[in-house]
Structure 1
Amino acid sequence: MSLWIAVHLPLLQLEAFRPNWLGEAPAVVFERDRVSAVSARARAAGVHEGMRRGGAQLLCPHAHWHERDPLRETALLDEAALALLQYTPQVTLAEDACVLLDVGASLRLFGGIRALCRKVRITIARLGLSAVLSCGVTAAGAWMLARYGYVRTVRATSMRRRLDRLPVALLTAARPYLEWLHGLGVRRLGELRRLPRAGLQRRCGKAVLETMDQAYGEALELHNWVEAPPSFCARAELPDRIDHTDILATYAQRLLAQLAGWLAARQLAVKQLRLLLEHERGRQAVPPTELVLALSVPAWQEEHLHALIKEKLSRSSLPAPAIAMSLAAGALEAMEPASELLFPEPGGSAEDHHRLIELLVARLGPEQVLQAAPRADHRPEVANRWCGVMQDAGALSAPLPADAGRLPPRPLWLLDEPVPLRLQRHKPWYRTPLEFASPPERIEAGWWEGRPVTRDYFTVHDAHHVYYWIFRQWTGGEQPDQEPQWFLHGLFG
């Protein structure tokens, strides 16, 4: 069964793009010198739709005035539709600034209709907007309920009862005939449905009956689905000159919400993001600042990407305040579906580990987070090298022999330089006498480099049961009259 969510964005909000104005100060939108939309405070002052500009300015002189810009409205609606693609691939645009989502196949994935509506509201809020949400089993029915007010219904019978109570003026095709319908005493959709269909069609045409039948689920609905563009690059104008990175990270959520919808629609994951901060133009122009965010593994989660961008911005210094920002996605790969284990690991999944590494890289820098690149060499100081965690350790390391796993235990902490140990009563001494806990392990290597090494390694412990890794260095052949040298090389955890 289909279930639709209608997201209605008020016209006044699309033009002003400052939701807080709707409650703090009167706001009016004009179209050809006529009032097209008003806020609650402006309506309380006597301003209403259809009023001329002079009368509205006389009644509410301190209001914020806006000219209707269809291109701006279309751009904001396209941004909202692109961001909402992360919840369903079936998204379409409707009249009166409304976005429709067919979420019948997405309810189980997002935890039900209540949780899904909550996520949709959060996404709309990250775009800097607020919306009226409604649910219905038909697209036209959900669209009409959203324009009238927030109602959530998932059953056809209850939706029909609510539609019967809606005013006839919500039907766009019936607006030219409102005076005639009101003269007949028809003011609600339920009363309109009781009229003879043949006479209503002769008087008002087929459009009224078709729209009404589609809302009640008695006729098929056809939609033009929103398609994600082949590449992603979004831009946002900032309301003022901003140099605080925390505020910039908040505005970056508007771009990341669109990116999340685009990645979900294209079934892609991103490995590199480019955030471009634009500064002052004109005579005092400052070149834009480009921030490149590289990820170790492809990601598409909006919260994770926002955390990385926030850390990246906090570590960056801006030459001048930013007036706009743009976001571009690069190094795209196919999205890997998430796999749920029957018994998940207590330490988290591999994705959680990669997210932690990327967050540390964004916070500390790529040169401060290292990983091991082992080499096929028996000498401990040569058997490993450290490289950046964003580099490919497999390309820098040599393949290990098959029997590497059968070697004796190695300490987690290896000293940069071995520490000489003194002997007392023919035993090595480090703070306390050291007792041997393992047989010797002979390592002879380095002869091919002209620096031969001959050592016997032991695992020992002191009086406090702290375990160390020491070796006996032979400078020449084993001679009875020659005392070997002892060194501390590692500590066990």
Structure 2
Amino acid sequence: MRLWIGLYLPRLPLEVFCPNWSDEQCAVVLEHERAVALSPQARAAGVRLGMRRGGVLMLAPQARLHERAAAREAEALQAVAMALLHYTPLVAAAEEATLLMDVGASLRLFGGVRALCRRIDASVRALGFSAALACAPTARGAWLLARADAGRALTMASMARRLDRLPGALLPPARPYLDWFEGIGCLTLGQMRGLPRPGLQRRCGGALLAMLDGAHGQTAELFEWIVAPASFRARLELFDRVENADALLFGARRLLLQMTGWLCARQCAVERVSLLLEHERGREARPPTLLDIALAEPTWRDEHLLRLLRERLAQLSLAAPVIGLCLEALQVQPMAPASASLFPEPGGSPQERQRLFELLVARLGPENVLKAAPRADYRPEEANAWVPLRGGAGGPAAQAQLPADVLSMPRPSWLLAKPVALLMRGHRPFYGSPLKMASAPERIEAGWWSQAQARDYFIAEGQDHAHYWVYRERIGGAGEQAEPRWYLHGLFG
């Protein structure tokens, strides 16, 4: 099924300057001293499109005026297109702040056209823009329906009915001849199609007929697709001085949406990203603050990255106000395919566990989330160390460092930080009750020079049937004649 989505951003000139504008803000964008975009409050004050600067200030003295910036609008449209690459690799820029998406191959993946449209609309709103979405079997049909905010048409017949009711002024080639069309009573696209083609071509040129034919699927449509660059680096200039780190999350999310779209288009997953917080320039210039996030498991989804950034920003104290953000993907690798297992793994997948570890590190700090690092040492208190997690937990590679014979011996689940000296009663060690040896001795002799240890370890059982790990210290030079000293070193579960 061939289906196109047209995405028209009618308030792009205004939202470029005011991404978080609200109904309480009175803002007007001017081009050649005439208003081309208005906020709802400016319209309520009586300002109209095409009004000159003086008239705007007379009706709304409190209005914030902005000069239209075509370059910034193009950058914003490119940012939206980059985020939309998450849904399809076939995204093209069209006339008048409109994007076209060929989503025929994406419908099943995202749960149908309605679910896909909802997700696209949510992504655009998260970027700080508002859009009118329309669907049609042809690209030009989707463009016209989006420009008129005329809804979805999934078949050629329903699209033709909707297009015939649209005003002819939507077609750019028809605008110079609107007076002539109005004079002959031709106001809609359907009425234009009913005119004799040779006469319409002689008067208005071939561009008008080509656009009408393309909208109805009678001619081939060719587009220049937006291509994701080889590397990702995106910058966002903030519109105010931000002094609270939590307030930066909105801008960071806009950059993350662009990066995840880029990752999907390149079929890559990111391992390490950096977020630069740019401070004020000039005499009080400061170097940017760097947030470096290293991932144990490469990802291409923005939800996990957004959670990590939220935790990092919540712990950050800004040394100076922030005026800009810059996000860069430092390390990427090819995207791994999804697991093909029929049944879910108990306790979650390894990817879910890694995401949990990364979230704990971001929330608690790397010094408070540790992992076991076994050492090749026979002494129990030296056989392990706790080191920062660094995004992952100890695995088979770390366990392989232990001697093979130690791995086969029983070890307690709880090893005391310092051995506890035991009393002797009736020539038997005592811990709440006399202890009875329940295993053969295991002799451990290890260490160098002053750190040398010589011990005989036993599994002991008390009268309550609890099991303990105890050892008898061997005293050098005294042999078996010296009184043995017993210690408790661990508890079995």
TM-score (norm 1): 0.90
Q: Which segment drifts farther, 483-492 or 314-323? A: 483-492
Say yes or no: does 1:423 pair with 2:424.
yes
The aligned residue for residue 234 of structure 2 is 234
- Structure 1 unaligned spans of 5+: none
Letter in 2 for 1:211: M
Cα distance, 1:430–1:160 mapped onto 2, change above 3 Å: farther
Structure 1 residues 315-334: Cα deviation after superposition (integer angstroms, max 9, x where no partner): 22221121212112212222
Structural mapping, 1:192-203, within 5 Å: 192-203=192-203
Per-residue deviation, 1:74: 0.5
Secondary structure of the structure 2 residue equivalent to 1:227: coil
Which residue of structure 2 aligns with residue 113 of structure 1? 113
User: What SS does the aligned partner of 1:356 have?
Assistant: helix
CA distance 1:357–1:181, shift in 2 (3 Å):
same
Cα separation, 2, equivalents of 1:489 and 1:149: 75
* SS of alignment partner, residue 225 of structure 2: coil
Between 468-477 and 419-428, the greater mean CA deviation after superposition: 468-477
* Structure 2 spans left out of the alignment, 5+ residues: none
C-alpha spacing 1:457/1:254, structure 2 compared with 1 (3 Å): same
C-alpha distance in 2 between matches for 1:466 and 1:6:
72
Q: Which residue of structure 2 aligns with residue 31 of structure 1?
A: 31
Look up the match of 1:141: 141
Q: Is the 8 A contact 2:88 2:102 kept in 1?
A: yes
Matches of 1:314 and 1:15 in 2, distance apart?
27
Q: 1:47 and 1:244, CA in 2 relative to 1: closer, same or farther beyond 3 A?
A: closer
Q: CA deviation at 1:447?
A: 6.8
C-alpha displacement at 1:12, in angstroms? 5.2
Q: The residue matched to 2:351 in structure 1 has which SS?
A: helix
**Aligned-pair distance for 1:295?**
2.0
For the 8 Å contact 1:304–1:355, the answer to whether it is kept is: yes
Amino acid across the alignment from 2:411:
R
Q: What is the CA–CA distance in structure 2 between the aligned matches of 1:247 and 1:232, rounded to whole Å?
A: 24
Change over 3 Å in CA distance of 1:164–1:411 after alignment to 2: farther
Measure how far apart 1:64 and its partner are. Answer: 3.0
Mapping of 1:22-421 within 5 angstroms? Answer: 23-149=23-149, 151-390=151-390, 399-400=401-402, 407-421=408-422
- Checking the alignment, whether the CA contact within 8 Å between 2:38 and 2:49 is kept in structure 1 is yes
Amino acid at match of 1:487: Y
Q: Deviations over 1:275-295 (max 9, x none)?
A: 211222222223322222222
CA distance in 1, matches of 2:319, 2:21: 32
Q: Distance in 2 between matches of 1:346 and 1:472?
A: 42
- Shift in Å, 1:357: 1.1
Q: Which amino acid aligns with 1:73?
A: E
Aligned to 2:475: 475
Quote the Cα distance in structure 1 between the aligned partners of 2:298 and 2:463.
48
- CA shift in 2, pair 1:117/1:440, >3 Å: farther
Q: Distance in 1 between matches of 2:76 and 2:112?
A: 27
Aligned residues: 490
Q: Distance between the aligned counterparts of 2:443 and 2:218, measured in 1?
A: 84
Comparing 301-310 and 453-462, the one that deviates more: 453-462
Which letter does structure 1 place at the counterpart of 2:158? S
Cα 1:105–1:14 change in 2 (3 A) is farther
1:466, distance to aligned residue in structure 2 (A): 4.6
Q: Is the 8 A contact 1:443 1:455 kept in 2?
A: yes
Secondary structure of the corresponding residue to residue 107 of structure 1: coil
Please report how far the alpha carbon of residue 375 of structure 1 lies from its aligned counterpart in structure 2 after TM superposition.
3.0
Q: Is the 2:13–2:37 Cα contact (8 Å) retained in structure 1?
A: no
Find out whether 1:454 has 2:419 as its counterpart: no
Query: Deviation at 1:199?
Result: 2.5
CA distance in 1, matches of 2:463, 2:323: 64
Cα deviation for residue 304 of structure 1 reads 0.8
Offset, 1:430? 2.4
Instruction: After superposing the two structures, state which structure 1 stretch, 239-248 or 197-206, moved more.
Output: 197-206
Q: Could you tell me which amino acid in structure 1 is paired with residue 446 of structure 2?
A: G
Tell me, in whole angstroms, the C-alpha distance in 1 between the residues paired with 2:68 and 2:262.
28
Aligned to 1:191, the other structure's residue is in SS state helix
Residue type at the aligned position of 2:277: L
Indicate conservation of the 8 Å contact 1:16/1:66, yes or no: no
Letter in 1 for 2:66: H
**Distance apart, 1:356 and its partner CA:** 1.0
- Checking the alignment, whether the CA contact within 8 Å between 1:12 and 1:28 is kept in structure 2 is no
SS of match in other structure, 1:457:
strand
Residues 278, 53 of structure 1: alpha-carbon distance in 2 compared, 3 angstrom cutoff: same
The Cα of 1:345 is off from its aligned counterpart by 1.4
Letter in 1 for 2:425: Q
SS where residue 92 of structure 2 aligns? Answer: strand
Q: Cα distance 1:411–1:212, how it changes in 2: closer, same or farther (>3 A)?
A: farther
Aligned-residue offset at 1:151: 1.2
* Distance in 1, Cα, partners of 2:43 & 2:204: 32
Identity in percent: 52
RMSD: 2.7
Partners of 2:12 and 2:129 within 8 A in 1? no
Task: Describe the superposition over 1:35-90 as per-residue Cα deviations: whole angstroms up to 9, x where unpaired.
Answer: 32334444455543334333444444443322211011101111111111111111
CA 1:88/1:461 → structure 2, altered by over 3 Å: closer, same or farther?
A: farther
SS at match of 2:187: coil
Q: Deviations over 1:337-359 (max 9, x none)?
A: 22142111121110111111111
Deviation at 1:150, TM superposition (A): 5.5
Q: 1:13 to 1:470 in 2, by over 3 A?
A: farther
Alignment check: 8 A CA contact 1:378 1:443 kept = no
Partner SS, residue 109 of structure 1: coil
Alpha carbons of structure 1 residues 233 and 117: separation in structure 2 relative to 1, 3 Å: same
Q: Which whole-Å CA distance do the structure 1 matches of 2:335 and 2:441 have between them?
A: 48
